[in-house]
Amino acid sequence: MAKCEYCEREMKTAKGCTIKYFIDSKGKYYERITLNKDEAPNGRCHDCGVDIGSYHHPGCDMERCPKCGMQSIGCDCDLPEMSIDNK
């Protein structure tokens, strides 16, 4: 199994990642977008394995950017991959 480097949970069996925010270079917080049921017909993310309503694990190809709405791993927003600050 693979462990998430941020939440330290097993990626394919954990309900989801515990990291709640992305932070841009100016310090603005963006709450991450959770997996919705339309993206997961089998109840879990096909890439990182999280449950519907949970945050994806870092690098998941299904996660959308909370700033632009596009795929997080391919957008041009200045959001770092992850923030460990959960406010």
Q: Tell me what the mean pLDDT of segment 69-85 comes to.
A: 77
Q: Which amino acid is at 3?
A: K
* Residue 28 to residue 2: CA distance in whole angstroms: 30
pLDDT, position 84: 55
Report d(CA 6, CA 66) in Å as an integer: 18
Q: What is the pTM of this model?
A: 0.85
Least confidently predicted of 7-11, 18-22, 25-29: 25-29
What is the per-residue pLDDT for 53?
96
Which of 3-7, 66-70, 82-86 is the most confident on average? 66-70
Longest Cα–Cα distance in the chain: 38
- pLDDT band per the 50, 70, 90 thresholds, residue 58: confident
